[in-house]
Amino acid sequence: MGVDNMKVFKEIMSWIIPIAVGLLLAALLGKFVIARVRVDGPSMQPNLDNNEKVWILKQSKIKHLSVVVFDAHGVDPSAKAKTKYVKRVIGLPGDTVSFNNGQLYVNKKKVNQNFISASERTSGTTDGSGHNSWNLQTLSKRFKWGNGSKVVPKGEYFVLGDHRSVSNDGRYWGFVPKSKIDGVVKVPVWSSTATKRHNVNSLSY
């Protein structure tokens, strides 16, 4: 290879190598660290709106009240392949969960639900038979999912939408395996309002 050709080759490689490295890093970030997703539907209102774009952190620890994105296919029997749901984690593995007249309890302790209004906590939250109280066992019997367990099974989570009256969530089809969860939702600082961002990004216990 001549001197001129060598210079051309080096110049070309000086462009190609950074681009290739950048693409590889972007692919790794998308697969293992962070991804951008679009909210579809009203089930997380008032804190997340339909068509709102948010980020998911794939390595974040899942806690009580974390908002997560998960693959709903195989979890909700009505969900088609590649369908993603966004919901709030209420019960961790081993937890008991119950609901009574607008109040939500985890391990017999009342959950602070200031992230939704009093009417949102009570509207449309019956067990499907008109009773305004339920627990995991009564839900599983009513909607014929699970094995009647009183607690969230190991490696699984119980989730609800914030807009309880329209949310298709764990009340109707059961638990979400950890293997199905893509990551924890974070709303960027330039999006939404400070209160809504706090209700998605910062609530946990």
Q: What is the 3-state secondary structure (H, E, C) of the chain?
A: CCHHHHHHHHHHHHHHHHHHHHHHHHHHHHHHHEEEEECCCCCCCCCCCCCCEEEEECCCCCCCCCEEEEECECCECCCCCCCEEEEEEEECCCCCEEEECCEEEECCEECCCCCCCHHHHHCCCCCCCCCCEEEHHHHHHHHCCCCCCCCCCCCEEEEECCCCCCCCCHHHHCCEEHHHEEEEEECCCCCCCHHHHHHHHCCCC
In this predicted model, what pLDDT tens digit does every residue of 91-149 receive, in sequence order? 999 999 999 888 999 999 999 999 999 888 877 665 555 557 899 999 999 999 988 88
Residue ranges making up the domain that contains 149: 39-201
Instruction: Supply the residues annotated as catalytic.
Output: 43, 87
Q: Are residues 11 and 56 in the same domain?
A: no
Whether 30 and 65 share a structural domain: no
Same structural domain, 24 and 45: no
Residue-wise pLDDT for 48-95, tens only, equals 999 999 999 998 999 999 999 999 999 999 999 999 999 999 999 999
pTM of the predicted structure, to 2 decimals? 0.83
Q: What CATH number is associated with residue 121?
A: 2.10.109.10
Mean pLDDT (the chain) is 86
pLDDT of residue 179 exceeding 50:
yes
Does 33 have pLDDT greater than 70?
Answer: no
Predicted local confidence at residue 28, as pLDDT: 45
Q: What is the pLDDT of residues 145-156, one digit of tens each?
A: 988 889 999 999
Q: Indicate whether 14 and 59 sit together in one domain.
A: no
